[in-house]
Chains A and B, each alone.
Chain A
Amino acid sequence: MSSRRSSRGSISEEEINELISKLQSLLPNARRRGSSQASTTKLLKETCNYIKSLHREVDDLSDRLSDLMSTMDHNSPGAEIIRSILRS
């Protein structure tokens, strides 16, 4: 790889492109290869939306988990699962 400057303020065009495409690949519906004309605005929007949906999912799942745990009997298989996770 060509030289990369990590000092603040001197970022190469190449590094920013790499960053952008890396971020793109993390998002769902990652664009097809060769379509490198992803606009910055689209990328920012998709990233925000994705983070928002991940937040919602985390909230939903952790609420559910908390509910399950609070109604769990000490001797239930679920409680044993949790204990074994905590033991590992």
Chain B
Amino acid sequence: MRGPSNNTMMAFKRGFLRSLLLSLQSSKATMSLEERKRAVKSSADVAMATARGVAGARWPQAILSSSSSSSPSRMQAKVKRCKNIVRRCCHKRRRDGNNGTSFFARTALNRSSTEVARRLVKKRTKVLRRMIPGGDLLDEISLLHEAMDYVVHLHAEVDVLRLVSKALQRSTTSGLFHAF
């Protein structure tokens, strides 16, 4: 099982940056600070999801679906959510072939298989689901795959943003020097 190649990640970084810059450029100046923050966050999420594309992972689509739910396609989003809930129920039924015990808890990776450990794993899995867009709908194996893919892309996002911020900050300082 291989992660995305360097070329793929370079393309992702470039695509993400372009999308983000474009949406930041076109953002309205007449927003309150709160609105501005939310808009920026949404722009970054959408840019990341678009740049990654929807193939091979769920989180990009989850981001794009939730960002468009403020549009008239709210009904569509609702329908989609219902479909997903049904799908998830089918998953659960399959999983319950082991009396509903979570896969993680069943694996031999826990040193202690006590009830406490099982409950902790269950709790932590819930938290992880919340951190990954669309995580609620996934079985635990898929959740691991998603987590990896999501982390890799978040990391790349941070790399790119750091570089650009540095470059821009440097350019403003040198601009000041040129004025003298």
Which A residues contact B (CB, under 8 angstroms)? 8-9, 11, 13, 15-20, 22-23, 26-27, 37-41, 44-45, 47-48, 50-52, 54-55, 57-59, 61-66, 68-70, 72, 76-78, 81-82, 85-86, 88
Contact in complex: A47, B21 (CB < 8 Å): no
A66 to B168, CA, bound (A): 11
* A65 to chain B: closest residue by CB: B165
Does residue B75 face the partner (Cβ distance < 8 Å to A)?
A: no
A19 to B146, CA, bound (A): 11
Contact in complex: B132, A51 (CB < 8 Å): yes
Does residue B85 face the partner (Cβ distance < 8 Å to A)?
A: no
A60 to B175, CA, bound (A): 24
Q: Which of B39-47, B50-58, B63-71, B76-84 contacts A (4 or more CB under 8 A)?
A: B39-47
Interface residue tally on B, bucketed by range: 35 or more
A47 to B147, CA, bound (A): 8
Overall SS of chain B's interface: helix
Nearest 6 CB-CB pairs, A to B? A44-B124, A61-B161, A77-B171, A54-B154, A78-B171, A62-B44
Contact in complex: B168, A81 (CB < 8 Å): yes
Partner of B172, one of A57, A63, A68: A68
Q: With a CB–CB cut-off of 8 A, which chain B residues contact A68?
A: 165, 168-169, 172
Q: How far is the CB of B21 from chain A (nearest CB, A)?
A: 6
Partner of A45, one of B1, B36, B124: B124
A40 to B148, CA, bound (A): 15
Partner of A58, one of B44, B121, B145: B44
Contact in complex: B131, A51 (CB < 8 Å): yes
Partner of A66, one of B24, B127, B131: B24
